[in-house]
């Protein structure tokens, strides 16, 4: 089990609904990863507190109304003059709390509203990821890109945000992370097309090589033209030129 899988399993682990194999894998990872161990211990304390609270029937309509009201307040207090609306960390904490509460409902037998609750938690996580990718801090944008990897059923908004990050983010590490995040959408034509376009205009050799690896992994022969131009460009980084030639070879096209 990897670090990115741990947040998705916390509720099931704490509720005792993991299989013996999954539970053992979870515990092995947490035992050897200090960061995941701290997070698990922290959520365990919250879980213990929540277990003492009587579990009412989930009211999806009221929950949506409260969510909309909170969203409206956040938008009203957002910075003026065209600045993007950003979520605060209370919203991010709300995602974790909602996931834990959902786990309690499920662990206690569940109800017909659990599906609706899961949907709302999923939507909230998506909105937090989108907000993080708009932050001024590169480290926060990196968190947003990384978080998108763990989202269930990400939609077009997430893909669009990742593509925008790949094309325009001024931080090399954030752009590199966006390539990794876009791998799960590699079957999409718009993602493949964007990878080729950015490959030809990308100033960072590291990002160029990551994109070459990406088009080779997807076996996208439409990238052959771009790879030929890069491999034959005397002004391009020598390592990138060699990587482009390698890419052509692995796509099975002539250089």
Q: Which residue has the higher pLDDT, 109 or 20?
A: 20
Under the phi-then-psi rule, with left for phi > 0, alpha for psi from -120 to 50, and beta for the rest, what region is 58?
beta
Confidence band (pLDDT; 50, 70, 90) for 34? confident
Mean pLDDT of the 130-152 span: 86
Q: What is the pLDDT of residues 69-124, one digit of tens each?
A: 655 655 555 444 444 444 454 455 555 555 555 555 545 444 555 566 566 667 77
**CA 18 to centroid of chain Cα atoms:** 23
- Give pLDDT, residue 175: 94
Q: For the whole model, what pTM was predicted?
A: 0.59
- Give pLDDT, residue 83: 44
Q: Which residue has the higher pLDDT, 241 or 53?
A: 241
- Give pLDDT, residue 69: 62
d(CA 166, CA 133): 11
- Give pLDDT, residue 7: 74
Q: What is the pLDDT of residues 144-175, one digit of tens each?
A: 898 888 787 888 999 999 999 999 999 999 99
Confidence band (pLDDT; 50, 70, 90) for 41? confident
**In CATH, what is the architecture of 1-53?**
Orthogonal Bundle (1.10)
Domain ranges of the chain: 1-53, 57-132
- Give pLDDT, residue 89: 47
- Give pLDDT, residue 67: 56
Place of tokens 């092995």: 28
- Give pLDDT, residue 95: 54
How large is the C-alpha radius of gyration of the chain?
22
Mean pLDDT of the 133-141 span: 88
pLDDT reading at 56 higher than 60: no
Q: What is the pLDDT of residues 181-220, one digit of tens each?
A: 999 999 999 999 999 999 999 899 999 999 999 999 999 8
- Give pLDDT, residue 82: 44
Confidence band (pLDDT; 50, 70, 90) for 2? confident
d(CA 26, CA 86): 33
């Amino acid at each position: 089990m990897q670090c990115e899988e741990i947040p998705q399993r916390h509720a099931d682990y704490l509720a005792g609904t993991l299989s013996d194999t999954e539970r053992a894998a979870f515990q092995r990872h947490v035992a050897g990863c200090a960061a995941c161990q701290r997070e698990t211990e922290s959520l365990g304390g919250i879980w213990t507190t929540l277990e003492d609270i009587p579990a009412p029937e989930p009211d999806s309509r009221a929950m949506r109304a409260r969510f909309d009201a909170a969203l409206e307040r956040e938008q009203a207090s957002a910075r003026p003059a065209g600045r993007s609306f950003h979520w605060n960390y209370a919203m991010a904490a709300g995602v974790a709390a909602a996931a834990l509460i959902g786990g309690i409902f499920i662990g206690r037998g569940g109800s017909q509203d659990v599906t609706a609750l899961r949907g709302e938690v999923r939507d909230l996580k998506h909105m937090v990821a989108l907000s993080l990718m708009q932050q001024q801090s590169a480290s926060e944008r990196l968190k947003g890109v990384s978080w998108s990897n763990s989202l269930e059923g990400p939609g077009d908004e997430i893909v669009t945000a990742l593509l925008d990050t790949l094309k325009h983010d001024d931080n090399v590490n954030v752009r590199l992370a966006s390539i990794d995040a876009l791998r799960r959408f590699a079957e999409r034509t718009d993602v493949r097309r964007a990878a080729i376009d950015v490959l030809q205009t990308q100033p960072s050799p590291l990002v160029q090589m990551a994109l070459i690896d990406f088009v080779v992994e997807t076996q996208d022969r439409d990238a052959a033209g771009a790879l030929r131009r890069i491999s034959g460009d005397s002004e391009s980084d020598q390592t990138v030129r060699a990587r482009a030639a390698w890419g052509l070879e692995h796509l099975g096209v002539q250089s």
